[in-house]
Amino acid sequence: MKKQSSLRISTRIFLTYFGLIFMFAFVAVFCYQTMTSNRDTSKYVSHVVDPSLKAMDDLELMIVESKMLTTNWVFLRSDEADKQALKKLHNIRYPALKSQIDSLTFKWENRVAADSLNIVLINFEALIRTQKQITFKLVDFEDYDDPSLKFDAESTLEDKILPQTNSIINKLHTVKDIKKKRKILLENKVAESTVNLRNFVSVILVIFIIMCIIMSIYMTNIITKPILRIRSAINTLGVGKLEEIETIGRNDEISEMITSVNTLVKNLKQTSEFANSIGVGNFKIEHTPLSDDDELGKALINMKTNLAKFSAEERDRNWLNQGINEVGELLRKDHDNPFQLSTKVLGYVVNYVNALQGAAYRVQHFGADKIIELMATNGFSFSQKAKENVYPGQGFIGQCVVDKKTRIIAATEALEPIYMGTNAITPKQILVLPMVIDEDVKAIFELSTFEPFSPLAMEFFSRVGNMMAATIDLIERKHTTESLLLEAQKLNTELSLKEEALLAANQKMEEKAHMLEEQNEAIRTKNESLEIAREAIRVKADELERANLYKSEFLANMSHELRTPLNSILILSNLLVENKPANLNDKQVEYSKVIQKSGSDLLMLINDILDLSKIESKNMELEVEDVNIAEWANDINMLFAEVAKNKGIHFTVALDKDIAANLPTDRMRLSQVIKNLLSNAFKFTAANGSVNMRVYNAINTSKYNRDKIQGSALCIEVADSGIGIAPEKQQAIFEPFRQADGSTSRKFGGTGLGLSISRELSLLLGGEMTLESEPGKGSIFRLFVPLGSVETLISSSLSSYKKPEIAVVENKVTVLQQPQVVVNTLPTGAAPDYNLAAYKLLLVDDDMRNIYSLTSILDDYKPNIVIATNGLEAIEKLNEHTDIDLVLMDIMMPIMDGFEAMQKIRNEMNLKSLPIIAVTAKAMKGDGDKCKEAGASDYLPKPVSKEKLINCIAHWLNINKAIAV
């Protein structure tokens, strides 16, 4: 082969790339200088020329605007806005614009244009001074009525201001034209430079491409072709074919690479022979690394060593896992028979480890004592016997139970041989293995072997021991549980008998008090068995008490959450019904009435739920007075007459002649019961039916239950010809939320609270309620109310409620369970047209619906309203507005609630006399007292009516006389 140039490839590549780099450096410097020049020119246009033109446009607009505003000052004396705008232009806007123009003209290249613009500014400042002369003449409204002042101003405007304005604008246009021409010139310069740069780069690019093609052909001949031969040889190595490459007659890097590849082929042939030997399992073959850096050779040697080790470990692991799995399978069976289980497991272990024989013992507990009992043997000869029972500490087995450690005894010649038919074998090693769980030995294996047990076998014994101990523990616990269950059933029967005996003994305790000391010890012994039952009852009572507490808290929170949006609905719908702006048509007013009616119905439902809660917690209040029966019945008749007429139902109210004139009772609660009964009667009676109410003395009927009511009573009977109630459902309708028809497709609505509340109220009134009904024939409800004195009524209600206090106020007896909230007596009826424009009110509420509805009410009275959305913000508003006259405070708010806010206002801010009205949806019993204790002057529960709110505000602001708005 012909000897080629000895110039190395790296030198050739260096020279090639050096030429390319030089060309690129030259092009880069030229491009950089051109682009820098264009950038500076563009920056000058965008940062100086364009802003200058914009500023001059603003100046022109300002000049024209000043002329217009000055003209308005002269001819429109009432246009105060234009006057203020002119002052702002003179004193603020122009100085700012002049400062901007000065900073820009400082950067102009053409100083003549800059001087011309400064002259325009000087002329405009002179014009401003002339305009100010006019403003100084026409200052007050009356100055325009002075003919001389007005004439001077108009003359100055026409003779000076208007001509000067036009002159200044013309000069400004001249300067603007100069700058616009300069801008066009600079932009053309940048465009021309850009075109030249693009042409230069295009030429250089063509030259570069031609050079790259030439160098590519050259490099391919001297580098690429030999490398392709080397790549082909390496690819051949990649597929496992070991072939050497033909050498070339060059002294460069390519020749060295071919030599290295041929050396690699020879070494790989040697290494492959070694790997083949390892692959067939010949781990004894030796291999010498090519050098200290031969990582592949060292890796193959390590692989051989590790494969030999892993093969042995894998065999041991498979042996161990197989044994553990098969023992586990045995342990999952025969859990009820530990002897059979031990026999199978012991037999398997002896065979699996090639032991000679084995025995299995189980540790039995008898109170504080233990006995080690033989459960199974394996491989014993006909002349051998295993000891049946061993005690802790006796022999190796007994000692193993005490110290819980595995014992390995090396056999001696003194050991008795094991006879196996025709042969006798003497053991060389005995293993005593305790099976421990939770520091308690459950069983012991004793194994004999001809050869010492290997570490792998010892690990197998340890794993089997843990599994065996856990299984025996499970069997013992199961048997213990079963025995305890039988014992518990037996004790439960005995406990029931003892409880019955104890009840019988307790009934005779008063008669045998003198024998109490002698029987105390026996009773205490029996009471120990009842302590668990008593504790369960106490826990149940605590749970019931907590449940009642949670229920009360839930009702209080639900009352707040429901009353808050309901307050907005009722207030805003009432404002729509009033239609004071007269911008709603009759149909829209009718819609508003429907919304108001629906809100009122929802409020009645909330009140029913709260009444039910008060009844269940025994906190319902009575206000007892002498009720005129005739007047009361007439009110009922007037209330339901229109309902009967609309439904086409015959309705009568009848009073017997011999009844008393007055009835001592709570008029509101009595009306609540009868209204509910009549409402149900009309609901379940179709058109052309009848509903009749009759009042008579209960002494005349057999339906009167004298066991519940002492003395004479009055019966109020409500009968209808409606759908009736089946006998099996008559008891259920008096339960809360239950109705005769409770399906989802029922025809009649309602919550099912009315009859439940009515029944409880009848008991609270000292009477009772009965029902007669038959499906399809109607129903008759009878309410029996005791007659007589007020004290008789109170006595009758004691059977279901705790004894109340009695307070007599103006011949009126009130039954009180807890101190009532004292609310100031305010005038009722429509709110007068108070003018609250002189007062500032702070409205504190986190719900924007309430804020909107309350401000909608107050807008008609024109107060100054400050709003805060929580207690902390309310305190900040009070510190900011020291002239606030009254606070409307919500209670349940985030960050700081109303209680804490009122306490801080009273104590920390020391505003003792500031009226604070708590307007809140927390309407549960005692909430009013809590508000008063926290510092409230008054308390209005939501939803609050417009009349109550305005009258309450007027009361605390001491507005005694209505002032027209």
pLDDT per position as a tens digit, 422-437: 566 777 788 888 888 8
Return contacts of 282-289, CB within 8 angstroms, 24+ apart. Answer: 283/307, 283/308
Residue with tokens 């309430």: 850
CA-CA distances (angstroms) from residue 694 to 651, 667, 675, 697, 952? 11, 17, 14, 10, 42
pLDDT at 410: 75
Q: Of 336, 269, 281, 335, give the one whose Cα is nearest residue 307.
A: 281
pLDDT at 889: 93
Residue 742 has pLDDT above 70, yes or no: no
pLDDT at 505: 64
Burial class, 858, CB count within 10 angstroms (exposed 0-12 / middle 13-18 / buried 19+)? buried
The answer to whether 754 and 680 have CB atoms below 8 angstroms apart is yes
* 477 vs 830, more confident: 477
pLDDT at 800: 41
Task: Specify the DSSP class assigned to residue 733.
Answer: G
Tokens matching residue 271: 């290494």
Q: What is the pLDDT of residues 778-792, one digit of tens each?
A: 899 999 988 865 555
Strands 812-816 and 768-774: unpaired
Helices then strands, counting H and E runs in the chain, come out as: 24, 22
User: What is the mean predicted confidence (pLDDT) over 319-339?
Assistant: 77
Q: Rounded distance, CA 458 to CA 456, Å?
A: 5
Lowest mean pLDDT among 358-367, 858-867, 881-890: 358-367
Q: Rounded distance, CA 764 to CA 795, Å?
A: 10
Residues whose CB is less than 8 angstroms from the CB of residue 460 and which lie 6 or more positions away in sequence, other chains included: 320, 323, 324, 352, 353
Sheet strand arrangement including 429-437: 389-390, 369-378, 357-366, 440-449, 429-437, 407-410
Phi, psi of 585 (to 5 degrees): -85, 175
Length of the chain equals: 965
Peptide bond into 943 cis (omega under 30): yes
pLDDT at 902: 94
3 state DSSP class of 943: coil
Residue 328 parent element (H or E): helix 295-331
Task: Specify the DSSP class assigned to residue 2.
Answer: -
Lowest mean pLDDT among 44-48, 76-80, 327-331: 76-80
3 state DSSP class of 622: strand
Lowest mean pLDDT among 357-371, 457-471, 537-551, 665-679: 537-551
The answer to whether 194 and 38 have CB atoms below 8 angstroms apart is yes
Strands 423-425 and 418-420: antiparallel
pLDDT at 916: 94
Residue 344 has pLDDT above 50, yes or no: yes
| DSSP secondary structure, 794-823, as one string | HHHGGGTSPPPEEEEETTEEEEESSPPP--
Strands 840-844 and 864-868: parallel
Q: Rounded distance, CA 680 to CA 720, Å?
A: 9
User: What is the mean predicted confidence (pLDDT) over 219-247?
Assistant: 70
Residue 297 has pLDDT above 70, yes or no: no
Q: Rounded distance, CA 36 to CA 588, Å?
A: 74
Residue with tokens 């896992």: 321
Q: What is the pLDDT of residues 604-644, one digit of tens each?
A: 666 666 665 656 555 566 778 888 999 999 988 888 888 88
Angle (CA) 114-116-119 rounded to 5° is 115
Residue 282 has pLDDT above 80, yes or no: no
Q: What is the pLDDT of residues 553-585, one digit of tens each?
A: 565 566 556 666 766 676 677 667 676 677 777
pLDDT at 793: 54
Beta partners for residue 868, in sequence order: 844
Q: What is the pLDDT of residues 704-739, one digit of tens each?
A: 444 445 557 889 999 999 888 888 776 767 665 555
Residue 676 has pLDDT above 50, yes or no: yes
The answer to whether 877 and 868 have CB atoms below 8 angstroms apart is yes
What amino acid is encoded at 455 in this protein? P
Instruction: Using the Cα atoms of residue 185, residue 187, residue 190 and residue 194 in order, give the sign of their dihedral.
Output: negative
Q: Rounded distance, CA 159 to CA 398, Å?
A: 135
The answer to whether 850 and 568 have CB atoms below 8 angstroms apart is yes
What amino acid is encoded at 559 in this protein? S
The answer to whether 181 and 76 have CB atoms below 8 angstroms apart is no
Residue 866 has pLDDT above 80, yes or no: yes
- Count of Cβ atoms closer than 10 Å to residue 825 Cβ: 7
Q: What is the pLDDT of residues 397-414, one digit of tens each?
A: 888 888 878 888 876 544
Residue 445 has pLDDT above 70, yes or no: yes
Q: Of 712, 761, 713, 766, give the one whose Cα is nearest residue 734.
A: 761
Residue 802 pLDDT grade (very low, low, confident, very high; cuts 50, 70, 90): very low
Phi, psi of 663 (to 5 degrees): -130, 120
The answer to whether 786 and 762 have CB atoms below 8 angstroms apart is no
Residue 891 has pLDDT above 80, yes or no: yes
Task: Specify the DSSP class assigned to residue 648.
Answer: T
What amino acid is encoded at 15 in this protein? L
Residue 803 has pLDDT above 60, yes or no: no
Q: Rounded distance, CA 135 to CA 926, Å?
A: 69
Residue 801 has pLDDT above 80, yes or no: no
Burial class, 207, CB count within 10 angstroms (exposed 0-12 / middle 13-18 / buried 19+)? exposed
pLDDT at 749: 43
Look over the chain and give the mean of its residue pLDDT values, rounded to a whole number.
75
Round to the nearest angstrom and report the end-to-end CA distance of the chain: 123
pLDDT at 49: 83
Q: Of 801, 799, 762, 755, give the one whose Cα is nearest residue 784.
A: 762
Q: Rounded distance, CA 598 to CA 578, Å?
A: 17
The answer to whether 381 and 345 have CB atoms below 8 angstroms apart is no
The pLDDT > 90 percentage for the chain reads: 8
* 776 vs 312, more confident: 776
Distance of CA 897 to the CA centre of its chain: 21
Q: What is the pLDDT of residues 650-659, one digit of tens each?
A: 999 999 988 8
Lowest mean pLDDT among 211-220, 498-507, 767-776, 871-880: 498-507
Beta partners for residue 402, in sequence order: none
Q: Rounded distance, CA 632 to CA 736, Å?
A: 28
Q: Rounded distance, CA 272 to CA 267, Å?
A: 9
Beta partners for residue 694, in sequence order: 654, 717
Q: Rounded distance, CA 434 to CA 443, Å?
A: 6
